[in-house]
Chain A
Amino acid sequence: MDHSESHYFVPQPSYWPIVGSFGLFCLLGGFALLLNDESLIGGYASGVGLLVFVGMLFGWFGTVVRESRGGRYNDQVDASFRWGMGWFIFSEVMFFAAFFAALFYVRNFAVPWLGGSGDKGIAHQLWPSFHAAWPLLSLPDAQHFTVAKEGMEAWGLPALNTLILLSSGAAVTWAHWGLKNDRRRQLIIGLTLTVALGVLFLFFQGHEYWDAYTLKNLRLSSGIYGSTFFMLTGFHGAHVTIGAIMLFVILMRSAMGHFTPTNHFAFEAVSWYWHFVDVVWLGLFVFVYLL
Chain B
Amino acid sequence: MAEIALHGEEHGHPTGLTRWLFTTNHKDIGTLYLCFSLLMFFIGGSFALVVRAELFQPGLQFVSATTFTQMTTLHALVMIFGAIMPSFVGLANWMVPIMIGAPDMALPRLNNWSFWILPFAFVMLLSTWAMPGGPPTSGWTLYPPNSLQTGMAFPFVIFAIHLMGISSVMGAINIVTTIFNMRAPGMTWSRLPLFVWSWLITGFLLIGAMPVLAGAVTMLLTDKYFGTSFFSAAGGGDPVMFQHVFWFFGHPEVYIMILPAFGIVSQIVPTFSRKPLFGYHSMVYAICAIAFLSFVVWAHHMFTVGMPLAGELFFMYSTILIAVPTGVKVFNWIATMWRGSLTFETPMLWALAFIVLFTIGGFSGLMLGLAPVDFQYQDTYFVVAHFHYVLVTGALFAIVAAVYYWLPKWTGHMYDERLGKIHFWISAIFVNVLFFPQHFLGLAGMPRRIPDYAVQYAEWNMISSIGAFVFGFAQLLFLYNLIRAVRGRGPRATAQVWEGAHGLEWTLPSPPPYHSFTEPPKIDDAQAHS
Decide: A13 near B236, CB < 8 A? Known: A31-B159, A80-B107, A87-B177.
no
Partner of A84, one of B22, B174, B520: B174
Contact with B along A71-90 (1 / 0, CB 8 A): 01000100111011001101
Decide: A224 near B230, CB < 8 A? Known: A1-B185, A8-B103.
yes
Let me know if B182 is at the binding interface, CB within 8 A: yes
Chain A positions within 8 Å of B1 at CB level: 4
Let me know if A145 is at the binding interface, CB within 8 A: yes
Let me know if A279 is at the binding interface, CB within 8 A: no
Chain A positions within 8 Å of B21 at CB level: 15, 18
Interface contact B207-A87, CB-CB below 8 Å: yes
Interface contact B227-A219, CB-CB below 8 Å: yes
Chain B positions within 8 Å of A87 at CB level: 172-173, 176-177, 207
Interface contact B176-A97, CB-CB below 8 Å: no
Decide: A91 near B173, CB < 8 A? Known: A3-B520, A17-B116, A102-B241.
yes
Complex CA gap A202/B216 in Å reads 26
Chain B positions within 8 Å of A15 at CB level: 18, 21-22
Decide: A98 near B216, CB < 8 A? Known: A14-B24, A119-B308.
yes
Residues 150-181 (chain B) with a chain A CB within 8 angstroms: 152, 155-156, 158-159, 162-163, 166, 169, 172-174, 176-178, 180-181
Let me know if B491 is at the binding interface, CB within 8 A: no
Complex CA gap A31/B515 in Å reads 41
Interface contact B155-A36, CB-CB below 8 Å: yes
Chain B positions within 8 Å of A25 at CB level: 120, 123-124, 163
Complex CA gap A284/B183 in Å reads 40
Interface contact B236-A21, CB-CB below 8 Å: no
Let me know if B211 is at the binding interface, CB within 8 A: yes
Decide: A28 near B162, CB < 8 A? Known: A11-B8, A102-B219.
yes
| Minimum Cβ distance to chain B for residue A120 (Å) | 6
Residues 9-48 (chain B) with a chain A CB within 8 angstroms: 9-10, 14, 18-19, 21-25
Interface contact A110-B238, CB-CB below 8 Å: yes
| Minimum Cβ distance to chain A for residue B255 (Å) | 16
Number of interface residues of B (CB under 8 A): 87
Chain A positions within 8 Å of B208 at CB level: 90-91, 94
Let me know if B390 is at the binding interface, CB within 8 A: no
Contact with A along B179-203 (1 / 0, CB 8 A): 0111111000000000000000000
Complex CA gap A81/B103 in Å reads 17
Contact with B along A253-272 (1 / 0, CB 8 A): 00000000000000000000
Q: Which of A136-144, A158-166, A175-183 forms part of the interface with chain B? A: A136-144
Contact with B along A1-41 (1 / 0, CB 8 A): 11110011111111111101110110011011001100000
Decide: A16 near B109, CB < 8 A? Known: A1-B183, A3-B185, A139-B235.
yes
Decide: A12 near B228, CB < 8 A? Known: A21-B120, A140-B235, A231-B219.
no
Decide: A10 near B22, CB < 8 A? Known: A24-B117, A83-B180.
no
| Minimum Cβ distance to chain B for residue A242 (Å) | 15
Let me know if B500 is at the binding interface, CB within 8 A: no
Contact with A along B83-112 (1 / 0, CB 8 A): 000000000000000000011101111101
Complex CA gap A225/B351 in Å reads 52
| Minimum Cβ distance to chain A for residue B140 (Å) | 18
Complex CA gap A132/B428 in Å reads 56
Name the CB-closest residue of A to B246: A98
Partner of A94, one of B180, B209, B227, B241: B209
Contact with B along A89-103 (1 / 0, CB 8 A): 011101111110110
Specify which of A87, A113, A143, A219 lies most central, judged by the most chain B CB atoms within 10 Å of its CB. A87
Complex CA gap A203/B248 in Å reads 35
| Minimum Cβ distance to chain A for residue B223 (Å) | 8
Decide: A76 near B182, CB < 8 A? Known: A95-B215, A101-B245.
yes
Specify which of A14, A32, A109 lies most central, judged by the most chain B CB atoms within 10 Å of its CB. A32
Interface contact B225-A35, CB-CB below 8 Å: yes
Complex CA gap A11/B119 in Å reads 23
Chain B positions within 8 Å of A4 at CB level: 1, 185
Contact with A along B361-389 (1 / 0, CB 8 A): 00000000000000000000000000000
Interface contact A109-B238, CB-CB below 8 Å: yes
| Minimum Cβ distance to chain A for residue B411 (Å) | 22
Let me know if A220 is at the binding interface, CB within 8 A: yes
Contact with B along A234-265 (1 / 0, CB 8 A): 00000000000000000000000000000000
Chain B positions within 8 Å of A230 at CB level: 228
Decide: A17 near B112, CB < 8 A? Known: A32-B155, A80-B177.
yes
Interface contact B185-A21, CB-CB below 8 Å: no
Complex CA gap A141/B229 in Å reads 11
Complex CA gap A227/B248 in Å reads 21
Let me know if A111 is at the binding interface, CB within 8 A: yes
| Minimum Cβ distance to chain B for residue A285 (Å) | 20
Interface contact A98-B226, CB-CB below 8 Å: no
Let me know if A105 is at the binding interface, CB within 8 A: yes
Interface contact A83-B177, CB-CB below 8 Å: yes
Interface contact A221-B226, CB-CB below 8 Å: yes
Decide: A83 near B109, CB < 8 A? Known: A123-B233, A225-B236.
no
Partner of A21, one of B113, B181, B306, B309: B113
Decide: A145 near B235, CB < 8 A? Known: A91-B207, A94-B211.
yes
Residues 256-276 (chain B) with a chain A CB within 8 angstroms: none
Partner of B237, one of A1, A98, A146, A224: A224
| Minimum Cβ distance to chain A for residue B78 (Å) | 18
6 smallest CB-CB distances across A and B, nearest first, come from: A98-B215, A221-B227, A17-B113, A224-B236, A32-B155, A119-B308
Q: Which residues of A contact B (CB under 8 A)?
A: 1-4, 7-18, 20-22, 24-25, 28-29, 31-32, 35-36, 60, 72, 76, 79-81, 83-84, 87-88, 90-92, 94-99, 101-102, 105-106, 109-111, 113-114, 118-120, 123, 126, 136, 139-141, 143-146, 219-221, 223-228, 230-231
Q: Which residues of B contact A (CB under 8 A)?
A: 1, 5-10, 14, 18-19, 21-25, 102-104, 106-110, 112-113, 116-117, 119-120, 123-124, 152, 155-156, 158-159, 162-163, 166, 169, 172-174, 176-178, 180-185, 207-212, 214-216, 219, 222, 225-230, 233-238, 240-241, 244-245, 248, 306-309, 515, 518, 520
